[in-house]
């Protein structure tokens, strides 16, 4: 059973109005997001694929991966993509104490700022909770600290190895509309579905006159 529906129902979005679920009034603009990197090979491939379509995206990075692969993080930044925080150790907020969760998130932010400079994050601190699971108290603390909590409109389920590549693609094609935030993963477990679906998503919407922007 899926943890979340492919398209987040509007009632869920209304229950959590301080989270960002989509971008309103986007004229033929979509927002691709990639979680769990940077990852050697997968992130590099993702960047090369986006570049072919002149597409920009947002990468929600795990702090420990940033520590291991800072050169890939810098490449993401240098190519004009946005970068967000995905905690240092990919924590499930529902299963961890709030203080530890905030500490882990701040550790990831410090790591990002160390590699890219604090000015890179001076105007916005983007945060996506791993698994989409975050307690209300955790969210309140992060919002007070100036983070924007970025959720999504459509989730591809690319990491699910039991999912056929065509179904991953259809998850996106069938549910995306103007202003949608779309979740993919630049991770090893998502490789099969990502490498099939992403070029086709970019081709499909580019031919329809859409553009892809970073948050």
Query: Angle of helix 70-78 relative to helix 42-52, nearest 10 degrees?
Result: 10
Distance CA 118, CA 171 (A): 36
Contact predicate 57/32, CB 8 Å:
yes
Under a CB-based contact definition with an 8 Å cutoff, are residues 23 and 45 in contact? no
Greatest Cα-to-Cα distance within the chain, rounded to the nearest angstrom: 47
Instruction: Give, for all 215 residues of the chain, the pLDDT tens digit.
Output: 456 789 888 888 888 999 999 998 778 999 999 999 999 989 999 999 999 999 999 999 999 999 999 999 999 999 999 999 999 999 999 999 999 999 999 999 999 999 999 888 877 899 999 999 999 999 999 999 999 999 999 999 999 999 999 999 999 999 999 999 999 999 999 999 999 999 999 999 999 999 999 99
What does the DSSP 8-state code read for residue 180?
A: B
User: Domains plus CATH for the chain?
Assistant: 28-212 (3.20.20.370)
**What does the buried/exposed string (b/e) look like for 3-37 if buried means 16 or more CB atoms within 10 Å of the residue's CB?**
ebebbbeeeeeeeeeebbbbbeebeeebbbbbbbb
3 state SS of 98? helix
CA separation for the pair 101, 31 (Å, rounded): 27
Instruction: Calculate the CA 107 to chain-centre distance.
Output: 18
Nearest to 188 by CA among 45, 47, 67, 76: 45
The answer to whether 168 touches 156, Cβ cutoff 8 Å, is yes
CA distance 170 to 7: 12
Instruction: Decide: 139 and 145 in contact? Cβ < 8 Å.
Output: no
CB 80 within 8 A of CB 57: no
Q: What DSSP string runs through 15-69? A: HSTTSB-B-TT-TTEEEEEEES---TTHHHHHHHHHHHTT--EEEEE-HHHHHH-
Active site positions, annotated: 35, 185
Q: Residue 5: what pLDDT?
A: 86
């Amino acid at each position: 059973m899926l943890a979340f529906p492919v398209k987040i129902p509007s009632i869920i979005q209304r229950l959590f109005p301080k989270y960002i679920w989509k971008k309103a009034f986007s004229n033929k603009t979509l927002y691709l997001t990639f979680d769990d990197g940077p990852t050697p090979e997968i992130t590099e491939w993702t960047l090369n694929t986006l570049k072919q379509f002149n597409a920009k995206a947002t990468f929600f990075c795990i702090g420990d991966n940033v520590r291991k692969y800072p050169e890939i993080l810098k490449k993401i930044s240098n190519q004009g993509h946005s970068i967000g925080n995905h905690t240092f150790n990919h924590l499930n907020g529902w299963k961890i104490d709030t203080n530890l969760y905030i500490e882990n998130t701040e550790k990831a932010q410090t790591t990002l700022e160390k590699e890219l400079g604090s000015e890179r994050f001076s105007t916005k601190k983007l945060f996506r909770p791993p698994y989409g699971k975050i307690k209300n108290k955790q969210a309140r603390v992060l919002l007070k600290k100036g983070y924007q909590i970025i959720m999504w409109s459509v989730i591809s389920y690319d990491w699910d190895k039991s999912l056929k590549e065509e179904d991953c693609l259809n998850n996106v094609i069938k549910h995306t509309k103007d202003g949608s935030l779309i979740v993919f993963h630049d991770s090893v477990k998502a490789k099969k579905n990502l490498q099939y679906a992403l070029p086709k998503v970019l081709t499909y919407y580019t031919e329809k006159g859409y553009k892809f922007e970073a948050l």
